[in-house]
Chain A
């Protein structure tokens, strides 16, 4: 698929899956979409390994935008991007946006064929300056 992919990373698998459900219902199936949530032991938290796998599931040559909830999700997502290695890591961005609204707005933008930079900018507009 040539549209930018969206990855949702939450501390809670329920939040991540619920956010993905909303994206699917509101935006449809024209955007590669994956989610992950929970730490390596299955508790609340995030896992670098799961994030890497989610990026691979949502992979698009146009790039992948990641939406995160709290701090550890952001730090782990940035670590995951780095571990993908060049050149793939250059096509993945972590968005600074609220996770639910950001995922829906980013996916909406992506479904229209927008570039990774446009998708990221749309999500960022949701953040308080």
Chain B
């Protein structure tokens, strides 16, 4: 997979823009079952990446993703910094040697290892795994936002088993996982941008 610098910049602007626009919503979701900082933290990361969009988009995609990952690790804080940072860092590393669907599967596994988590525990992985699986089974890119959104919705009745929400036990049931929501927002922003670029 190769993208032009203009496409990489458009992706950064779309993803960061959507995260910033939904920061309050993410923080509200996190207030219900976590520590009410997911939107604030992700917005800080998005702004930090946006500030360097020109430099980052001048790099080839694998290096650009690694630069984004490093920025997220250093600026986001919370657990989402190392988790989304690992996703981008690992995706960048894998893309240098793998196809995109293979790279996304490996990067998702890296996030699971970083968070010592797996599917079904009410986390961002509940969106990342089905999106990666859909790509691998050659589903059209246009299907991914709906798959991601449905997967995020599906975290609502689940009892959290990782992260701060797991402290709440049964009381975490009935709320969408904020990490699953941010992962679905990012998926939609990426697909929207790449579809326009086609």
Contact = CB atoms under 8 A, between A and B. Distances in A.
B126 interface: no
Interface string A51-76: 00000000000000000001110011
Interface residues on B, range: 20 to 34
A72 B76 CA distance: 11
A52 to B, nearest CB: 10
Interface residues of A, number: 18
A43 B27 CA distance: 15
Contacts of A72: 77-79, 81, 164
Interface in A16-51: 39-41, 43-49
Contact of A41 (B73, B77, B85, B163): B77
A83 B73 contact: yes
Nearest to A73: B79
A98 B164 CA distance: 16
A101 interface: no
Contact of A75 (B41, B44, B82): B82
Contacts of A75: 79, 82-83, 114-115
Interface of B: 35, 37, 40-41, 44, 73-79, 81-83, 85-86, 114-115, 162-164
